[in-house]
Chain A
Amino acid sequence: MLEVVNLRRSGLAPVSLSLAAGECVAVQGPSGAGKSLMLRAIADLDVNDGEVSLDGVGRDAVSGPQWRRQVGYVPAEPGWWADRVGEHFRDWAALLPWAERLLLPAEAAAWPMTRPSTGERCRLALLRALEMAPRMLLLDEPTAALDPLATAAVEALVGERVAAGLGVLWVTHDAVQAARVAGRILRISQGRLE
């Protein structure tokens, strides 16, 4: 489904990879190896070169926003633009079943943005990305700030979406998690994908 050929950007050696629909691939490597740089380039958030396509349709054939709606990126430290949690979602009520599974209370929508913890923010960002109904998700350390219970909840929900056809690139430091969630593991070191 996702086809990346010779993706080039500063801080990263040319990357090629492919990923099928319903496949979850883990990305591992030391800090500063270029994992986030690669995800940002695939999501077309930074200047980069190379051929990236989804189901054979090149990235340049669609606008940047259209591309990013299909290839969602959830950064390790997600950003927020409004004062309340609920303003970052289009339809919070429709998301309630998923919010519950991510151990987020229904009333979280009314919280001021200062209230959620780092771990809650990570799960809110995942929920926000799932709401777009993307074809692909690029997850950057989505469970680094979570306790084991919340980690299991995230893995279960993402796993279910993968089973429904979502493609996932999952960056994680945790080798055990990588083996648990992904069918395949890619390694990056010093800006080079192996």
Chain B
Amino acid sequence: MTGYVSLSAWDLGLASLLVFANAGLSLALRLDLHGRLLIAAARMVAQLSLMGLVLVTLFALVSPWWTALAALVMVGFAGREAAARQDRPLTGWWSYGIGTTSMMTAATLVTVFALTTALRPDPWYDPRYAIPLLGMVLGNTMTGVSLGLNGLATGLVTRRAGVEARLMLGASRHEALRPVVRAALRNAMMPIVNAMSATGVVSLPGMMTGQILGGVAPAEAVKYQILIMFLIAGGTGIGAVTAVLGGSWRLTDHRHRLRLDRIGG
């Protein structure tokens, strides 16, 4: 470590002028965005400050229970976000339930895998590693899960005639749904595939940039970034498959009927 430049409130205030400049631009051009822009910026500051406080406490405690609780709250919020992104949500709590379950499965598997193999902090649940790792994996898994579920529901609605035609000819629900399931999974995996191929050429990932700015040697930061990308890819795959299979189970029934009545308005 070569040390890092500590930021003062004054530095952040100066940078925030850029947001205010945007708001001014919105006023001048009548984009009608200034209100939402300022509220979003204020939310970001408040949420991150709160997260900072929570992290300070968690890092001081190093308790498996408090760490697990924080992880659970994060997964809960991710589930809400994934459910909110559905164009055609499932009725009842099913979008939230399937989204949360698949993200919990994927993020837990991948995070525990990384903590017990590559990173091995002592104790393994040390929140200093577990929470940031979970956050990175969760954010991307959420994208995969919500894209997968959305692709499934939209695909079944638009390709309903074709799917039902197969059912009418005696196909099982798995056979009948296969093309739609496949398209939904491709849809869900595309962002991470694209991100991996563009990383380092077009974009420098935020985590690596943050580490470098924080004084970590670039070569070390790169290794961490590669690890994170693998974890994200794994998490996205597990999450998307769980969510899409769960969704196709919910949108059919034991008589192998298509149940689009289980999609809400």
Contact = CB atoms under 8 A, between A and B. Distances in A.
A73 B257 contact: no
Contact of B164 (A45, A47, A63): A45
A72 to B, nearest CB: 7
Contacts of A128: 169
Contact of B166 (A43, A66, A81, A129): A81
Contact of B159 (A47, A69, A81, A88): A81
A132 interface: yes
Contacts of B162: 79-81
Q: Which of B162, B167, B170, B256 counts the most chain A CB atoms within 10 A?
A: B170
A132 B167 CA distance: 12
Nearest to A138: B168
Given A63-B256, A80-B162, A73 B179 contact: no
A8 to B, nearest CB: 15
Contacts of B256: 63-65
Contacts of A78: 161, 165
B190 to A, nearest CB: 22
Interface in B55-93: none
A64 B166 contact: no
Given A45-B164, A78-B165, A64 B179 contact: no
Contacts of A77: 161
Contact of B167 (A65, A66, A88): A65
Contacts of A68: 167-170
A91 interface: no
B255 A64 contact: yes
A96 to B, nearest CB: 19
A75 interface: yes
A51 interface: no
Interface in A67-115: 68-69, 72-75, 77-81, 88
Nearest to A68: B170
B257 A132 contact: no
Interface string B232-265: 0000000000000000000001111111010000
B179 A81 contact: yes
Nearest to A46: B257
A68 B166 CA distance: 10
Interface string B92-134: 0000000000000000000000000000000000000000000
B172 to A, nearest CB: 5
Nearest to B170: A69
B171 interface: yes
A118 B56 CA distance: 68
Interface of B: 159-172, 179, 253-259, 261
Interface of A: 43-47, 63-66, 68-69, 72-75, 77-81, 88, 125, 128-129, 132
Pairs of residues from A and B, 8 with the lowest C-beta to C-beta distance, nearest first:
A79-B161, A69-B170, A81-B162, A79-B165, A64-B256, A64-B255, A79-B162, A65-B170
Given A46-B257, A79-B163, 17 more contacts: A45-B164, A45-B168, A64-B257, A66-B170, A68-B167, A68-B169, A69-B170, A72-B169, A73-B168, A77-B161, A78-B165, A79-B162, A81-B162, A88-B165, A128-B169, A129-B168, A132-B169
